[in-house]
Each structure stands twice: as C-alpha cells, then as structure tokens.
Amino acid sequence: MSALEVLTDAAVLMDDDGIISRVGPYSELRAGNAATVVEVQGTLFPGFVDCHTHAVFGAPRLADHERRARGETYQAIAAAGGGILSSVRDVRARSSDALLDSARGRLSAMLALGTTTVEIKSGYGLALDHELKQLDVVRALAAEPVSVIGTFLGAHEVPEEHRANPDAYVDLVIHEMLPAIKRQGVARFCDVFCEPGVFTVAQSRAVLEAAKALGFGLKLHADELEPSGGAELAAALGATSADHLAAISEAGIAALAASPAVAVLLPGTDPESARLALDRVRIELRAQNLAHPASALDISLGSATAERGERLNDALKQADAEMYREKAARRGDGTDTPPAG
Ligand SMILES: [Zn+2]
C-alpha cells in the first residue's frame, strides 16, 4: 500500500496504439507533445481486465447450486445431464438476439464496476453452428464501450450426442470446428476443460496443438477438481494462461513457475478464495479512503460457504449475520442486528 499515490494535475501520455508511455505532471507531458487532449474529471483509474468469463449464456444454473448444497458432486450432476450440458441445451434453444440482449446487460454491469476489458468464451454450443452463434454474439458485443476478446471453448464438455465416443467429438473440434472458427476470425484464443471425466490430458493436448498450428493463443481450464497434469500441459504448450488450479500439484506449480503462462485463480469457486476476494475488497476500500478521505466509504462484508447437506438459504443467512456483526463491531455499539427472517 505504501506504493499507492494519487497525482493531481497529472496526465497520461499514450501512443497511437493506446499504449501508455508516460504518467506525470500535465505541464511536463504537454510540452513538446502534439497529442490529442482528453480532459478527465475526477480520478483516472486503470480499468480492470476480466480474463475468464462465460458471459454469453441463457439462464443461470441456480438449480445446480441447490443440488451441490444437498451433497451431490459436480461430477455427479454433470453425469446426470446437469452442469454445463444444461446450459448447452439452453443456449442451443435461444436466438442470437436473445443471447446478445442478456450478454449486453451483463457487460454493462461489469463496466459499471470498472471492468473495461472482458474475455468471453464459447463452450455452450458444442456444435459448430451453435459455437459460431455464441462467438458471433461475442463479436457483436465489440460495439459496446468495453474491449471484448473471444475464446473458442468447443472442448468445454462432451455433448450428449457424442457421449458414446468422446474421441469422435475431439476429432470434430480439431478438424471441423477449429478451421471454421479460424476462417470466421471470431476468436483469438482456444481453451479446453482438461479434467478427469471431461477431457483427458491427451485429448486436451491434441486440441490445443491443432489450435496452436492455426495461430490461436492457448488457455486451459486446468486442475480445477483433481490434479491431472493440466498445469504441466499449459506450461509445455506455451499457453497464455492456466485457469482455476484449485487442485494443482507441486509438479504443476513448478512447471507453471518456469513458464510464461499466467496462473488465473477464480475467486468464488472454492471457500478459501471467496474469503480472499473479500479481503481484496477491504484493501481496495482502504486505498479509496486514503485517496479520498472527504468522501470515505463504509462497507460491511460477510461471507459463508454452503457445506454439503446445507441449504443455500442457510448459507446466505450466515453471510448476512457476519456482515451485521462486522458493521456492529465497527460502530462499537452493537445496535445493528440482522432484520428478522
Ligand atoms: Zn471457465
């Protein structure tokens, strides 16, 4: 935090490609630079980059949450046709216009929170026409005031019609989908869900090597539920990122550390990272209050994890109670209590 500093009467100098070349006093940067000047009121702050989203989808999968809370595993829900496959059925049934409408709403909510660059994956089509439908929506979102980057995630799950022969689906991804997606120019990256029960390391490698040969950047959903060698694969192939990694092995950590791949951790997909995300918010809050003591913000936060066998409702009540406890502790009078019910 000691490195945080607020500059007044400052300017940011960017080159023609939008790359920042200098930050400093306005008068100094203005002298000798024939730059176009854009006046900014308030505080100029770097935009956030969300490098892992599935922002083009139909309905949220709240029913899956309840099933997990009742003790079913992610794998069991997926095997019974829930999980990703239920989003696939949903996205296949929706028009591009409907998908575009709902995704626009999500993007503007993200922008309101400071996110100015968003990566968006396909992976709820799992057939060429539906994957293209999703990625065309991603392309259409480029008209919004947010930088959008498309990722082809055809190997997100094995679709129902190929459950008997997953290798045949991998062949389809490699030989039919990847070349067509490349021709359409709708995705910069290719991603694979590498996980036991979804795609093996060998299948993931085959898809990613084909993508690399076509010029796609590589990303990987790796070691999310079990350590299966996903991080090692990302490092070996020179991937841009390996994502999730909640179950990464020591060997996977060593491989990633020695490679240029970025480890993308996704808060909220496990209890510890949810708590870390809250700590992060508290740090940001302190930074804002240091910079703007006259308009200091006061936010109370609470979190809880729905354990197996526990209803989501109960977890929400716990989080709510924790938030009120924090609020009361800060005021030091204990007068704030949760509303009844
Ligand atoms: Zn994901």
For residue 5, report the distance from its CA to the centre of ligand 1, in Å: 34
Same domain, 59 and 88: yes
Spacing, Cα 53 to ligand 1 middle (Å): 6
CA quadruple 289, 284, 2, 257: dihedral, nearest 10: 180
Residues 245 and 313 in one domain: no
Task: List, for residues 202-230, the tens digit of each pLDDT value.
Answer: 999 999 999 999 999 999 999 998 999 99
Q: Are residues 53 and 72 in the same domain?
A: yes
Query: 244 alpha carbon to ligand 1 midpoint, in Å?
Result: 8
Is 152 within 8 Å of 181 (Cβ atoms)? yes
Strand order of the β-sheet with 115-121 is 48-50, 115-121, 147-155, 189-194, 217-222, 241-244, 262-264
Per-residue model confidence (pLDDT) at position 271 = 65
Residue 130 and residue 229 share a domain: yes
Å from CA of 328 to ligand 1 middle:
37
Residues 277 and 267 in one domain: no
226 Cα to the center of ligand 1, angstroms:
15
Q: How far is the CA of 319 from the centre of ligand 1 (A)?
A: 25
User: pLDDT per residue over 117-161, tens digit each?
Assistant: 999 999 999 999 999 999 999 999 999 999 999 999 999 999 999
Give residue 2's domain range.
Answer: 1-43
Q: How many helices (H) and strands (E) does the chain have?
A: 13, 9
Q: How confident is the model at residue 270 (pLDDT cuts 50, 70, 90)?
A: low
pTM: 0.77
For residues 131 and 251, state if they share a domain. Answer: yes
d(CA 112, CA 340): 32
Q: Find the 55 Cα to ligand 1 centroid distance in Å.
A: 10
Domain co-membership, 81 together with 187: yes
Domain at 195, CATH number: 3.20.20.140
- Summarize pLDDT for 281-300 with one digit per residue, the tens: 888 888 888 888 887 888 88
Residues 279, 266 share a domain: no
Count up the domains in the chain and report the number. Answer: 3
pLDDT in tens, 15-43: 888 888 888 888 888 887 778 888 888 77
Please determine, for residue 56, whether its predicted confidence score (pLDDT) is greater than 80.
Answer: yes
